[in-house]
Amino acid sequence: MRINTVSPGPVETPILPDFEQSMGKQMLDTVRTAVGRHAGVEDIVPVIDFLGSPGAGWITGQDVLVDGGVMNAITVGTPVP
């Protein structure tokens, strides 16, 4: 059995304003500036598809960050484009 998780960053959905309120507008603006945009669902789904595919058969117990640099901005202070 394989068990993996995907941790997305800001995604353009109806709940993005709530995320902005909890994370802070400045943090999200920093990421948007570095990457050029927030993610769309189409940016996250391929990663999930891959993790469920035979090509990821040797990947288990992993958390895949698909966050446009959010964790980098939090831990280092500067997002990576």
Identify the pLDDT of residue 81: 54
Could you report the per-residue pLDDT of 7-61, keeping only the tens digit for each? 998 888 898 888 788 878 877 777 776 677 888 999 999 999 999 999 999 999 9
How many residues appear in the chain? 81
Q: For the chain, give the secondary structure using H, E and C.
A: CCCCEEEECCECCCCHHHHHHHHCHHHHHHHHHHHCCCECHHHHHHHHHHHCCHHHCCCCCCEEEECCCHHHHHHCCCCCC
Q: Residue 64 pLDDT > 60, yes or no?
A: yes
